[in-house]
Amino acid sequence: MTTAPQQPAERPTLTIVKDNAPEPVEGTVVEHQDTVVATRPAWLAVVQDHVRANRMYAPWIARGYWRLARELFASYHDDYPQMIATAKAARKAAAGDAAAEAKAHTLVQIRRADYRRHRLIYGAKTGGWAALAGTGFTVTTLGAPLLDIPLALAALGLGAWRGRPAAAGQQTLLASDTGVTTTASGIIPSSGDEKILAALKKLGFDGEIIEPLTRQPDGTLAMIVDLDDTVTALKGRTESLAGALKRDVPMVDVSKGAHANQAHIWLSDTDPFETTRPSPLLQAPGPIDAWNDGVPVGWGKRGNTVRLLIRNQHALIGGTTRSGKGVGMANLLVGAAMDPRINLRIVAGKENGEFDALGRAGVAATYFKPDPARLLALTDALIADMDRRNRLLGKLAKSKMTEDTIMQLGGIELIVIDEVATYTGPGSHDDRDQLLENLMKLAAVATGAGILLVLTTQLPQVDVIPTRLSMNCGTKWAMKVDSGTQSNTILGSGLAGSGGPDASKFDPPRPGLGWLNNPFAGGTDLARSFDLDEDERGEVTRLMKYAAKLREDAGRLAGQWDDPIEQHLTAATGLSSTAGGPERNGRPGRAGSPDPGEILIARVIDVLADAKVDRMKTEPLVEALRERWYPDLTPDRFKGAMKGAGVGSPVTLGPIGEDKNPRGFKLQTLTSLHRP
């Protein structure tokens, strides 16, 4: 046996790396025993490890394209086969009832037409994708490497992105900083339960878990807790609970379970009102049973469709300018139009064309633009009709309208008064007090007779909406307002400022988002109106074509049936506002005559009557007509139009104020030419 020679003590120990050598930097080249070695950056190592761990993303890519194909197939068919089958079943069930059978047959045809259009759209989409794929294959076949590589990477990247595990909902849930993950069963580990119990305890509630925190199919969280206090008390602290769980109010919901102390707690990781949603009527336009099923107007926290029943309730919608109250009202109107049993009476608050689509389609039984005197006449007509309906209910031994008596009474009267402050604000017009008295009477006693009011305002103040009026509006929708006082005017006194709903505290405010008190759903909760656009997309006009067809088949299009309200208005004013008047634009005129000359004479008479004078100079007449009806009217055009209407040129009027003998028009001359 031999041993290695001992190294002399005076010689230094040999080393591979020099003492005190600097640490190599990632990505640099270092010398290693006369060999040059490049170090690998940490980020590249992570990427390579991730690629290897996921088998080059092959499973992701396959899963991604399988999901795309499945989604395309589902979107191609959507719910149309089911809707067609339901419509056919309704047609079969209506056999023997000619009106109902015709209505159901029309619905079958509408559903089939919608399905054909839907398939054409998806056929075009599929053709586009196929053409793109074919182009990519052709380029690859021809061997253009500068295009092959980007196309291949794009195709693989799309598949991998669609097939990534995150798309299946495997995310952290309770809070982004907790690291709580979902187990395979969907149940959140106990730390999630502990966080909620701790949040409840912080608010003064002790609880026992009945069902632990569980992931729902839609990705939200839910648990059931028995409290030592009532669910109502906890619902009043929803904002505090949301804060304790590091969420906004729309992301937390509390509802009652099996008993008064059992709370169903629901949580979302995203704001359910962050993005808009289209009205479901755009895909399935009707018909609608507004009495039993209600009208879809928006959606709630959990994505549920919010419906308002057109039955036994008046409604009040309030909010500042651009708060979205107009869209909320549009959803209600469009849905109500899909039920031919509803007589729509629309009183506009502005001179624009917001409601013209309902007039053009003949859906609105009554429609006129700002005219306080005509609204007063309308309320008089409704009060008279209420008495008629109540007498008929007495003969039928009924205390109020029921589903089987709707058509016997003449249908449901739905009166929409937009921007009610135009008519009820202090000093708005001479008949303001009498009009308010009529509205408060209708609000108090007309629901049983099937006469319902819908009021909207951007000035929710007690001098515009008196307590006697607002207290009888069971359905209330408060969108963004300026103060807690205004919120209380809509929702009820004392709510804002005491921990209850406050429509002045939306953060951030979203158009159409508001606190909705829906008496048929029970309680007040957040809801956002569906996106329904007329100005850019013409959606209201498109839906009104369906509504008009439904009403025409049922004999309920404006002008098809005997309308006592419009008969009263025509008798009282000499002008008809059926379907918006002869021009269908909200400007009343002689019934059956769209002659613009007669309309002009009637409007000049209205101006003189409102001013309570028997003559007026040309210039102030033109100014009044321009303000109310003809925004582009000039004195010369007015004089020409009056000649064309048979009135002739302006005449001398005699002394008016400081003018000794100005020229203009006399009421006596106009009334002699006007045929009431």
Compute the distance between CA of residue 368 and CA of residue 359 in angstroms, rounded to an integer: 9
Per-residue pLDDT of 489-520, as tens digits, reads 999 876 776 667 889 988 888 999 999 998 88
For residues 587 and 568, give the distance between their C-alpha atoms in angstroms, rounded to a whole number. 17
Provide the pLDDT for residue 322. 87
pLDDT at 166: 45
Per-residue pLDDT, 17: 42
C-alpha span between 79 and 185 (Å, rounded): 30
Helices (H), 525-666: 539-554, 564-573, 596-611, 618-628, 635-644
Reading the block at residue 90, the tokens are: 């309704």
Helix (H, G, I), strand (E, B) or coil at 89: helix
- Give the type of residue at 74: A
d(CA 180, CA 222) in angstroms, rounded, equals 15
Query: What is the enclosing helix (H) or strand (E) of 187?
Result: none
State the maximum Cα–Cα separation within the chain, in Å, rounded to a whole number.
Answer: 147
Burial class (CB in 10 A: 0-12, 13-18, 19+), 142: exposed
269: left (phi over 0), alpha (psi -120 to 50) or beta: alpha
Please report which confidence band the pLDDT of residue 474 belongs to, taking 50, 70 and 90 as the band edges. very high
pLDDT of residue 182: 47
Q: How do residues 92-113 score in pLDDT, each as one tens digit?
A: 777 766 666 666 777 777 777 7
**Res. 202: pLDDT tops 80:** yes
Question: 3-state DSSP: the chain helix, strand, coil percent, rounded to 5?
Answer: 45, 15, 40
pLDDT of residue 7: 42
Q: How confident is the model at residue 169 (pLDDT cuts 50, 70, 90)?
A: very low
Q: Which of 460-464, 563-567, 623-627, 668-672 has the lowest mean pLDDT?
A: 668-672
Q: What is the pLDDT of residues 515-569, one digit of tens each?
A: 999 888 777 899 999 999 999 999 999 999 999 999 999 999 998 999 999 999 9
In this prediction, residue 632 carries a pLDDT of 77
What does the buried/exposed string (b/e) look like for 45-54 if buried means 16 or more CB atoms within 10 Å of the residue's CB? eeeeeeeeee
Neighbours of 69 (CB within 10 A): 10
Q: When comparing pLDDT for 241 and 146, which is higher?
A: 241
Least confident piece of the model among 125-129, 311-315, 403-407, 665-669: 125-129
The pLDDT of residue 176: 41
> SS3 string of 234-249?
HHCCHHHHHHHCCCCH
Confidence of residue 387 (pLDDT cuts 50, 70, 90): very high
Question: Helices (H), strands (E): how many in the chain?
Answer: 22, 19
